Amino acid sequence: MATVPFDQLDGHIWLNGAFVPWADAKVHVLSHGLHYASAVFEGERAYGGEIFKLTEHTERLHESARILGFEIPWSVAEIDDACRELLKMQRFRDAYVRPIAWRGSEQMGVSAQNNKINAAIAIWQWPSYFDPAQKLKGIRLDMAQYRRPDPRTAPSKSKAAGLYMICTLSKHAAEAKGYADALMLDWRGRVAEATGANVFFVQDGVIHTPDPDCFLDGITRRTVIDLAKRRGYEVVEREIMPEEMEGFEQCFLTGTAAEVTPVSEIGPYRFTVGEIAQNLMNDYTAEVTPNHALAAE
d(CA 243, CA 240): 8
User: Helix or strand or coil: residue 89?
Assistant: helix
Mean of pLDDT values over 87-100: 97
Of 42, 5, 3, 8, nearest to 22 (Cα)?
8
CA distance 88 to 122: 12
Q: How confident is the model at residue 3 (pLDDT cuts 50, 70, 90)?
A: confident
User: 19 by DSSP, 3-state: which?
Assistant: strand
CATH number of the domain located at residue range(s) 6-124 in this protein: 3.30.470.10
Residue 291, pLDDT > 80, answer no
Average pLDDT over residues 25-40: 97
Q: What share of the chain is helix, strand, coil (3-state, %, to 5)?
A: 30, 30, 40
Q: By C-alpha distance, which of 257, 32, 71, 51 is closest to 167?
A: 257
Taking the C-alpha atoms of residue 62 and residue 53, their distance in angstroms, rounded to an integer, is: 15
Task: Name the range with the highest mean pLDDT among 105-114, 236-245, 284-293.
Answer: 236-245
Q: What average pLDDT does the segment 21-40 reach?
A: 97
Per-residue model confidence (pLDDT) at position 292: 53
Asked if pLDDT for residue 179 goes beyond 70, the answer is yes
pLDDT band at 294 (very low <50, low <70, confident <90, very high): very low
CA distance 244 to 249: 11
CATH of domain 132-288: 3.20.10.10
Whether 106 has a pLDDT exceeding 90, the answer reads yes
Q: What pLDDT shows up at residue 2?
A: 46
Percent with pLDDT over 70 in the chain: 96
User: pLDDT per residue over 107-139, tens digit each?
Assistant: 999 999 999 999 999 999 987 777 666 777 899
State how beta strands 18-21 and 191-194 pair.
unpaired
Backbone torsions φ then ψ of 10, nearest 5 degrees: -100, 160
| DSSP state letters, 130-176 | S-HHHHHH-EEEEEPSS-BPPTTTS-TTS-BGGGGHHHHHHHHHHHH
Q: Is 121:95 a contact under the CB 8 Å cutoff?
A: no
pLDDT digits (tens, 9 = 90+) for 4-20: 899 999 999 999 999 99
Residues above pLDDT 90, as percent of the chain: 92
Question: How many other CB atoms sit within 10 Å of the CB of residue 296?
Answer: 4
Could you tell me the residue ranges of all domains in the chain?
6-124, 132-288
* Amino acid 201: pLDDT: 98
The yes-or-no verdict on residue 257 having pLDDT over 80 is yes
The answer to whether 159 is a known catalytic residue is yes
**Length of the chain, in residues:** 297
Mean pLDDT of 32-52: 97
Catalytic residue (one of 53, 135, 159, 171): 159
| pLDDT value of position 1 | 36
pLDDT at 293 over 50: no
